[in-house]
Amino acid sequence: MQDNIKISEFSRETLDLVNRIINRYPKGREKSALLPLLHIAQSENNGWLSPEMMDYVASLLKIESIEVYEVASFYSMFNLKPVGNCVIEVCQTGPCWLRGAENILAHFEAKLGIKPGETTQDGKFTLKTVECLAACGNGPVIQVGKEYHENLTTNKADELLEKWKRENKISHTNPYL
């Protein structure tokens, strides 16, 4: 976990992507690019949106910072507090529950020694519960970054945890790349 590192501006490459995205919307409607830009910003800021990062996004879109804050706080994919390197999101809605999601969540809690919403001491993992991920036929389902892991069992969960530990998994990568 890293807090409040000073944000530098996006790289040239990222700014090119940002401009391509802004150009998808009509002149005067650049604000439409806000959600895509916040996804990118979060990935470039260790998986969360700091006030500084949101101010920077506001400056890119030439809108007020408050317009960014009110949007960022509405959508559940945006983290407004620091998170671990690897955020594990466990679906807990009906269809996944019917197929054992509670066991999976309890298993991650026990293995990581944390509750949903918490981050491990070493800053490597954050556990989150989420609502329906639209993969109900293959429940229990978890999401890590862009990856879906479906038909989860406790064995599979262990394998994944081992793998993520080994490779120092970082779940917040630029989703466009």
Partner 1 sequence: MATQILLKNIDVPGLAGFQVYRNLGGYTAVEKALKTLTPDEVTDEVKKSGLKGRGGAGFPTGMKWGFIDKQSGKDRYLVCNYDESEPGTFKDRHIGTLNPHQLIEGMILGSYALGAKTAYIYIRGELFYVLNIIEKAIQEAYNNGYLGQNILGSGYSLDLYCHPGAGAYICGEETALLESLEGKRGNPRIKPPFPAIVGLYGCPTVVNNVETIATLPWIINNGSDAYAAIGVGNSKGTKLISACGHINKPGIYEIELGLPVEEFIFSDEYCGGIRDGNKLKAVVAGGSSVPILPAELILKTAAGQPRLMSYESLSEGGFQTGTMLGSGGFIVMDHTTCIVKNLLTFARFYRHESCGQCSPCREGTSWMEKILTRIENGQGTTKDIDLLVDISKHVEGNTICPLGDAAAWPVASAIRHFREEFEEHIKLQKCPF
Considering the complex, what minimum distance in angstroms separates the CB of residue 160 from partner 1?
17
172: its two tokens: 């917040």
CA distance 77 to 42: 10
Considering the complex, what minimum distance in angstroms separates the CB of residue 121 from partner 1?
27
Sheet with 147-149: list strands edge to edge: 125-130, 86-91, 142-144, 147-149
Considering the complex, what minimum distance in angstroms separates the CB of residue 124 from partner 1?
22
| 125 contact partners, CB below 8 Å, separation of at least 6 | 84, 85, 86, 87, 88, 112, 114, 119, 164
Q: Give whichever of 122 and 147 is closer to partner 1, judged by the CB atom.
A: 147
Are residues 168 and 9 in contact, defined by beta-carbon separation less than 8 angstroms?
Answer: no
> CA of 113: how far to CAs of 108, 109, 127, in Å?
8, 5, 10
In the complex, which residues of this chain contact partner 1 (CB under 8 A)?
24, 26, 29, 31-36, 38-39, 61, 67, 70-71, 74-78, 92-95, 97-99, 130-139, 143, 146-148, 175-176
Q: Give whichever of 109 and 150 is closer to partner 1, judged by the CB atom.
A: 150
Q: Give whichever of 129 and 154 is closer to partner 1, judged by the CB atom.
A: 129
The bridge status of strand 142-144 relative to strand 125-130 is unpaired
Considering the complex, what minimum distance in angstroms separates the CB of residue 147 from partner 1?
7
User: Quick check: bond before 140 cis, omega within 30?
Assistant: yes
Q: Give whichever of 34 and 161 is closer to partner 1, judged by the CB atom.
A: 34
Considering the complex, what minimum distance in angstroms separates the CB of residue 122 from partner 1?
26
Q: Give whichever of 72 and 161 is closer to partner 1, judged by the CB atom.
A: 72
